[in-house]
Amino acid sequence: MKNGITSLAIAVLLTACTGSKDAPTAGRAAGATNLSTPSAAPAATASSISAGESVYKQSCSACHALGIAGAPKIGDPEAWAGRIAQGMNLLYEHSLKGYNGTKGVMPAKGGNPSLSDEKVRAAVDYMAGHSR
Ligand code: HEC
């Protein structure tokens, strides 16, 4: 009986000890993971798909993939040559601020105001680059 209590006490002590040693380590590891995940994830995405491509797919392809509503279709050099010839700066400006053209209405930032200017320019580069 005495032995039983002693070994129980040791077991409890060991458990408590192990528990208190592990807990802070696990906490720190989890904390580190939580901190690094949000910043690491976009970087990984950016390297596997270009930022321009992902913005294009999310915000521009609805019109530009098929040439909906008068939008110049991606991959159609005829639709793009004249536009690219105007210079990339004008294409950026039209994409950022939107404009009414002869074919239809290009909404500012493709109708997604939460996009940064940089991302919109990357999407323009992506579309123009695939339409030469
Ligand atoms: C609601 C449909 C729609 C969406 C979404 C859209 N566009 Fe357009 N876009 C148009 C139309 C229509 C035109 C052609 C307007 C014209 O020339 O008459 C156009 C034209 C353009 C041009 C050519 C500009 C020029 O000066 O000739 C660029 C560049 C462009 N869009 C970029 C984008 C980018 C980048 C996105 C996503 C962030 C996007 N568009 C999303 C409809 C859209």
Of 42, 74, 41, 80, the C-alpha closest to 56 is 74
Q: Whose CA is nearest to atom 4 of ligand 1?
A: 110
Q: How far is the CA of 103 from the centre of ligand 1 (A)?
A: 10
Residues whose CB falls within 8 Å of the CB of residue 67, separated by 6 or more in sequence, listed in order: 73, 76, 79
Q: Which residues, given as ranges, of the chain have pLDDT below 70? A: 1-48
Rounded to whole angstroms, the Cα distance separating 38 from 46 reads 13
What fold does the segment set 51-129 form as a domain? Cytochrome Bc1 Complex; Chain D, domain 2 (1.10.760)
- Which atom of ligand 1 is the closest one to the Cα of 124? 35
Q: How far is the CA of 14 from the centre of ligand 1 (A)?
A: 67
Cβ distance 59 to 67 under 8 Å? no
pTM above 0.75, yes or no: no
Half-sphere exposure of 100 (CA within 13 A, CB side): 0
Half-sphere exposure of 82 (CA within 13 A, CB side): 3
pLDDT at 7: 56
Of 61, 70, 63, 60, the C-alpha closest to 112 is 60
- Which atom of ligand 1 is the closest one to the Cα of 99? 15
Q: How far is the CA of 87 from the centre of ligand 1 (A)?
A: 15
pLDDT at 40: 45
Q: Ligand 1, residues 59, 61, 63: which to mutate, most atoms within 8 A of Cβ?
A: 63
Output the six-digit token pair for 66: 């098929």
Q: Would you list the domain boundaries of the chain?
A: 1-48, 51-129
Rounded to whole angstroms, the Cα distance separating 36 from 126 reads 29
Q: How far is the CA of 51 from the centre of ligand 1 (A)?
A: 18
Q: pLDDT tens digit string along 102-127? A: 999 999 999 999 999 999 999 999 99
Output the six-digit token pair for 16: 């408590």
* Positive or negative: CA dihedral 90, 98, 120, 74: negative
pLDDT at 49: 80
